[in-house]
Amino acid sequence: MNSKFLKLTVLVCCCVLLSCNAQKGDKSTSIAESNVEKKPNLIIIHTDEHNFRTISAYQKLLKENQAFVWGKGNNVTTPNIDKLANEGAISTSYYASSPVCTPSRASLITGLYPQATGAPKNGLHLSENIPTFATILKDQGYATSYVGKWHLAGHSKYKFNIKYKAGFEDNRYMMTGGHAPYYQVTEDGFAGINQRKASKLPENEIIHATDFFTNKTLEILERDKNKPFAIMLSIPDPHTPDVAKPPYDTMYDDLVIEAPKTMSPAYVAVKPSWATDKGKNETIGEKSFENEQNTIKQYFGMVRHIDDSVGRILQFLEDNNLTKNTIVVFTSDHGDMFFEHNRRNKGVPYEASARIPFLIRYPNKIPANKVINTAYTNVDFVPTILSLMNVKTDIKFHGLDTSVDFTSSEKIINSNRITYYAKSGGWWVTAVNDRYKLVIDKKEKPYLFDLEKDPDELINFYNDKDYAEIAKMMQTELFKQLKKFDEPGLKNKQGYITE
């Protein structure tokens, strides 16, 4: 064989071999990279004063008279929020650590009960020396952002440029507080305005609060979509003043709203003292219920508007191939009584006030269509979400890591776990599991509710002999936790008053 031809043949073979090896190397590298678990993204969509009954995923799990306390069929459908439950998990016994804005928000982001956060009452400032889930994720290389109502930096309204960021690196759209339905945004500044003033201003200057904060969230997601991100969107609605924007403001006009069963004077007359408020939160005697029906319709409209905003965010994830590796949480700071027990707003132990929606989707880890009946409070959120994200920390939390409940293959999770919530700085504390609720107050006899037999919370079983063991179990565990977490609710100079 010609030596020149032999050398050429060897050279060609070597080139082919090198090329093949290079291709194999590229493929193996690609496989290796794909096998490395990417950091999951996190989106928290957080609403304010949100009655859990207005989410149709909850309505489907409730008896008809509980799903439609304002009359048969009178409620909202929320297909986008429901999608989180259909493709993930829904918690049926999730409670605010304290059913008031500031303390509940402080617990959600720190994993601590309000008394340990520096913000146990409305209008206080979150302690700057306490880690939040955002400070932890920021240290892990996440792009952290907060958009919307904060209410952990005093009582001022519609103020931005909040100095303490609490770990949220981008807090340009973190707002101190306020519930004006519309914002006027001009080159000269930003102002919260009511619907009457909004109707008189140029359309290009006016935007609804829900749209404003959802738009800003989508802008940040577009910016950060190619790196690990964690963003919390806190929508100020569906809080009072209960004003929906068109077309949501007329969407429920045809409904004939009925008074909740528990609004009956027969039940109101025997309410416990902790449920009575002769001020603005009582409804009978100030306005007839008929005059309040439009308020409920506006509330329904606000919830539907929020649901459409959730849909916009979910669509962004789908369009950018981010769905599987992004955890989406939908929750709230507290509920709204909306005339149950003749009450408005929050601040009481009843379900409509203290129980909050909690839905979560994470296709990479959480099986679809999970229903979790175990009792949690939002104190459990931080340790649970960090565990789901596989983030390790030595920081101690009051809440529990409940991530196994969400990731297990079981479709329904039940347990008798007892947890508690309280009126921070107030009088009452409440022990709760997935069926029973014990309310102890400084100036009232103990109340034990059986939420299965009496979901309207009208009957006190505390002195019923058939419930003696249950009452003892709930009370023993309650005082154990009050001591453990130094809860001030029932304390006096001698210790816990009902010990």
- Going by the DSSP 8-state scheme, the letter that residue 353 receives in this structure is H
pLDDT averaged over the chain? Answer: 90
Query: What residue spans of 154-245 are helical by DSSP H?
Result: 195-198, 209-224
CATH of domain 429-496: 3.30.1120
Lowest-confidence range among 14-28, 163-177, 229-243, 399-413? Answer: 14-28
Q: What is the structure's pLDDT at 29? A: 37
pLDDT in tens, 476-489: 999 999 999 999 87
CB 422 within 8 A of CB 353: no
- Please name the residues in contact with 147: beta carbons below 8 A apart, sequence gap of 6 or more: 173, 174, 213, 216, 217, 220, 231, 232, 233, 234
Q: What is the structure's pLDDT at 190? A: 86
Query: What residue spans of 49-200 are helical by DSSP H?
Result: 56-59, 64-67, 79-86, 101-110, 133-139, 195-198
Q: Name the percent of the chain lying above pLDDT 90.
A: 81
Q: What is the structure's pLDDT at 19? A: 45
* Average of per-residue pLDDT across 73-95: 98
Q: Alpha-carbon Rg of the chain, whole angstroms? A: 26
The CA distance from 253 to 361, in Å, is 33
Peptide bond into 120 cis (omega under 30): no
* Average of per-residue pLDDT across 269-294: 75
Amino acid at 64: E
**Cα 163–Cα 167–Cα 172 angle in degrees, nearest 5:** 50
pLDDT in tens, 214-260: 999 999 999 999 999 999 999 999 999 999 999 999 999 999 999 99
pLDDT in tens, 372-394: 999 999 999 999 999 999 999 99
Peptide bond into 241 cis (omega under 30): yes
**Gap between the terminal Cα atoms of the chain:** 103
**Cα 236–Cα 240–Cα 246 angle in degrees, nearest 5:** 75
Q: What is the structure's pLDDT at 424? A: 77
pLDDT in tens, 328-365: 999 999 999 999 999 989 999 999 999 999 999 999 99
Amino acid at 343: R
Q: Is 7 exposed, middle or buried (0-12, 13-18, 19+ CB in 10 A)?
A: exposed
Q: Which CATH superfamily is domain 39-418 in?
A: Alkaline Phosphatase, subunit A (3.40.720.10)
* Average of per-residue pLDDT across 54-76: 97
Q: What is the structure's pLDDT at 135? A: 98
Q: Strand 94-95 and strand 436-441: pairing? A: unpaired
Is the pLDDT assigned to residue 37 strictly greater than 80? Answer: no
Would you state the structure tokens that stand for residue 354, as one six-digit string?
């203290």
List C-alpha distances in Å: 318 to 82, 314, 321. Answer: 16, 6, 5
The CA distance from 38 to 389, in Å, is 10
Q: Where are the domains of the chain?
A: 39-418, 429-496
- Please name the residues in contact with 488: beta carbons below 8 A apart, sequence gap of 6 or more: 115, 120, 424, 425
Measured in whole angstroms, how far is the alpha carbon of residue 126 from the centre of its chain? Answer: 18
42 phi and psi, to 5 degrees? -135, 130
3-state secondary structure (DSSP) of residue 364: coil
Q: What is the structure's pLDDT at 495? A: 59
Sheet holding 182-186, edge to edge: 189-193, 182-186, 206-208
| Most confidently modeled range among 29-33, 163-167, 184-188, 197-201 | 163-167
Which of 146, 118, 110 has the alpha carbon at shortest distance from 385? 110
3-state secondary structure (DSSP) of residue 495: strand
DSSP H/E element including 492: strand 491-492
* Average of per-residue pLDDT across 137-166: 96
